[in-house]
């Protein structure tokens, strides 16, 4: 059940009158937030990697950077404030 909560919940975990101990719910929420943070850092690392070194021709890199920024913006995780 904890893995389902970590993967499927799209906001802060609420106990919803389920018999989940508070410390367990808080631990699951902390882990979930850590995973999200790792994913966002990885995506930002991808942007910075493309900006610094690139992987292909300049035009392809610009296209990839732009698409990644647009997608992150639509998910409200770009720009990082």
Residue 11 or residue 40, greater confidence: 40
pLDDT score recorded for residue 25 = 83
Residue with tokens 């937030």: 33
Give the model's confidence band at 26: pLDDT under 50 very low, under 70 low, under 90 confident, else very high.
Answer: confident
Give the DSSP H/E element, type plus range, for residue 4. helix 2-8
Q: Are 25 and 13 in contact (CB under 8 A)?
A: yes
Residue 44: which of 33, 56, 36, 32 has the closest Cα? 36
Residue of 51, 75, 49, 48 whose CA lies nearest to 62:
51
Tokens of 28: 């699951």
Q: Look up the pTM and report it.
A: 0.69
d(CA 13, CA 28): 8
């Amino acid at each position: 059940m904890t893995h389902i909560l970590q993967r499927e919940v799209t906001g802060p975990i609420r106990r919803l009158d389920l018999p989940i101990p508070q410390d367990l719910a808080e631990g699951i929420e902390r882990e979930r937030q850590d995973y999200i943070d790792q994913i966002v850092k990885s995506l930002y690392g991808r942007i910075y990697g493309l900006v610094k070194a690139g992987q292909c021709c300049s035009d392809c890199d610009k296209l990839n950077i732009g698409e990644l920024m647009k997608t992150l913006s639509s998910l409200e995780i770009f720009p990082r404030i």
